[in-house]
Homo-oligomer: A and B are copies of this chain.
Amino acid sequence: MKISKVLGLCVLGSTVLFGANSLVTNAMNSGLKPIPQSKFELLKLIDDAKDPITSQKVELGKKLYFDPRMSKSSLISCNTCHNLGLGGVDGVSAAIGHGWTVNPHHLNSPTVYNAVFFKAQFWDGRSPHLADQAQGPVQAAPEMAAPPKLVEKRITSIPEYVSEFKKAYGDDVKIDFKRITSTIAIFEKTLITPSRFDDFLNGSNEALNKHEKEGLKIFLNKGCASCHTGIALGGTMQPFQIASKYKFINVGDFKGNAESMVKTPTLRNITETAPYFHNGQFWSLKDAVKEMGSIQLGIKISNKDAGKIVTFLKALKGRKPDISYPQLPDSSSTTPHPDAK
């Protein structure tokens, strides 16, 4: 009696469905998870009761994300290096910022899409919070080079921004650097890209074709999901086995991390985010797969198997949210001028 009740519940839920598809079960048991289909479930994952997502904050955050006045030069916006039309990246090996400065540690710009699902932000994983991440590049000298006070002066000198902050947070809002960047992070939380792989995990067996399923099997059997895990298929810290090969130990933000832990990049939209690795060293996805097999898993992945894994990875290309390009509010006579020096 009790058992039939449980079975009854399972029929209503998804257990039976998953049970019927051993590949899904295998993927889920390996730690992979879909982006929830239900908006309610998704919100539970990404929303913060202390600073809930609202349409006003998202619209304002989008403007700030696209606004180059967030940088010292007024030429570089968040979107410059995390281009939402290019998989959320810049497509160059190492980020290039203020004064055409190449990132001194030759670090590659990670994608902003699905970053809300990362357990760790930054390559060295020094914060779990998107809002902290948003504070980094704005200030960093080789990136946007804008001191927090300059950003606050710029934004509060623009009447329409002040009015939008009040609408979003109430009349007594303090428009400081923290609030400005956390508003950007709220926009970033909406940059989620469900793919056919999610449809598959969510129960649509036909969402992947047989070649993609074969690639997924190999991906799981080789152990790729041990690092590329969770909803993001990445976004957690892992030891980078032979990091020294990539001149990676104790440089810049990575200092004080004797184990050379590095954030595993997400595999979502991976065909859009070349070149690969923290230093953008690999342009070929197949080569990157083989290299990871070698240095992370200690195995040789054949050319054929790597090709099949890539076939699966292509199915992680997600459906991007529609983004209307924002009209940014006019500067005023008190807006600090651009400074390209």
On A, residues with C-beta under 8 Å from B are 66-69, 73-75, 80, 83-86, 90-93, 96, 99-100, 102, 271-272, 274, 283-284, 320, 322-328, 330-331, 333, 337-338, 340
Contact = CB atoms under 8 A, between A and B. Distances in A.
Contact of A69 (B68, B91, B96, B337): B91
A218 B70 CA distance: 38
Which one of A67, A75, A99 has the greatest number of beta carbons of chain B within 10 Å? A75
A100 B340 contact: yes
A92 B338 contact: yes
Contacts of A283: 333, 337
A69 B102 CA distance: 18
20 contacts: A66-B85, A67-B85, A68-B86, A69-B91, A73-B92, A73-B96, A74-B90, A74-B92, A85-B325, A86-B328, A93-B338, A96-B340, A99-B100, A100-B340, A274-B331, A283-B333, A283-B337, A323-B324, A323-B325, A324-B325
A118 to B, nearest CB: 22
A95 to B, nearest CB: 10
A322 B320 contact: no
A322 B80 CA distance: 21
Contacts of A331: 91, 274
Contacts of A84: 325
Contacts of A80: 75
A87 to B, nearest CB: 8
A271 B330 contact: yes
A69 to B, nearest CB: 7
A215 B93 CA distance: 53
Contacts of A328: 85-86
A92 B75 contact: yes
A85 B80 CA distance: 14
Given A73-B96, A74-B90, 17 more contacts: A68-B83, A68-B86, A69-B91, A74-B91, A74-B92, A75-B80, A75-B92, A75-B96, A85-B325, A92-B340, A102-B340, A271-B330, A274-B331, A283-B333, A320-B327, A322-B324, A324-B325
A273 to B, nearest CB: 10
A1 B186 CA distance: 71
A219 B34 CA distance: 62
A331 B102 CA distance: 22
A235 to B, nearest CB: 22
A10 to B, nearest CB: 39
